[in-house]
Structure 1
Amino acid sequence: MGRAHVHAFTSGCKAPWVQDVFDAMEHVLVHGDGEARNLVVVGLMEAVQAWAYPAGEAGNRYEAKLGPHAANAWADLIEGWTGDGIRTLDAWRRKAQ
């Protein structure tokens, strides 16, 4: 699902389900239990980041589209992989250079 979502978004798909996935991520991170939140962060976001990272600017647009709770979880995930203060795809890419 993560791969399909990031591919649809970065290719400009305007189907309602694309926004629905963003909305669902935010909803689960606000209202879900620990298992549901973990599924979004570890299951979905890790898959999305693997595709968004090499997508460059398109990946940055995906990152910018996240709601506030999803954006924070996304940044925490990146920081957990890459080190303190690395909380965006751009910062991650700069570190890798």
Structure 2
Amino acid sequence: MLPEGKKPGHPPVWTRRQLIDGIRFRTRTGVPWRDVSERYGPWGRVYDLFRHWSCRSGWVCHEAPEPMMPMAIVADFRRRSARDDHAR
């Protein structure tokens, strides 16, 4: 019979819609994650949400690009792979 309290923790600073729009902007334009506009939230938070969803909810992970992935993501994966190969 106690009244329901508020959810624990801090309220979100960035709306989920802003972060999703940041993911959509990044995949549409192919810009590096660090170049995602601040109006979508901090680039790191946008990337974290993308990575979380890509590996947990059926989106394709960066480790294994699929033919159905947006071309910008495939190109980003290939650039990173080439950079990692040169670092070894």
TM-score (norm 2): 0.39
Higher relative contact order (CA 8 A, sep 6+): 1
Higher helix residue share: 1
Which protein shows a greater Rg?
2
